[in-house]
Amino acid sequence: MAKLDDVELTERLFLKGYPFRKYSPRPGDPASSAMTPLQKPLTACRVALVTTAGLSLPGQPPFDVTIKMGDTSFREIPGDTSPQLLEMNQRSWAFDQTGVLRDRNLAFPLDRLREMHIRGEIGSVARYHYSFMGSIAGPRKLINESAPEVARRLADEKVDVVLLTPV
């Protein structure tokens, strides 16, 4: 297992200063009830994916890897999309993209969700799924605008379970 001392000083300082614990949901935010026990069996739940792999469809604007603090926008991905069509716009120097470039299901397991639905393990697959870019050094706009908008869309679609695949 890696030790904290194995991480370069610049990375440790970044992690120390990152506002992991500085944000909490405000009353009324969809996120305020995000971590609640399921009220029904998984076999009756609608499931969606949210990834930070920076995936987008051909024809959608790619994530802008030149934005210094990170692109806080998101891309909506229809549920009937073939994951292999997705393009990856990830700028993280800490992430080896090789496996995901071979099989997008490693970061966006949409085919696996469909298989689970066919086997009756989940109720349904959401009509829309969402992709963000990872390595957001300045997350304020992500937390205050983009993520609440995606949460609203998921709630509007009556999604019961969201699988986050952080990349």
- Structure confidence by residue, pLDDT tens digits, 46-103: 999 999 999 999 999 999 988 888 899 999 999 999 999 999 887 666 667 777 878 8
Per DSSP, the three-state class of 45 is: coil
What's the confidence (pLDDT) of residue 8? 76
Per-residue pLDDT band for 36 (boundaries 50, 70, 90) equals confident
pLDDT for the residue numbered 61: 95
* Measured distance CA(54)–CA(35) in Å, rounded: 24
Q: Which residue has the higher pLDDT, 97 or 45?
A: 45
Mean pLDDT of 122-146: 93
Is the pTM higher than 0.85? The answer reads no
For Cα atoms 45, 48, 54, give the angle at the middle one, nearest 5 degrees: 170
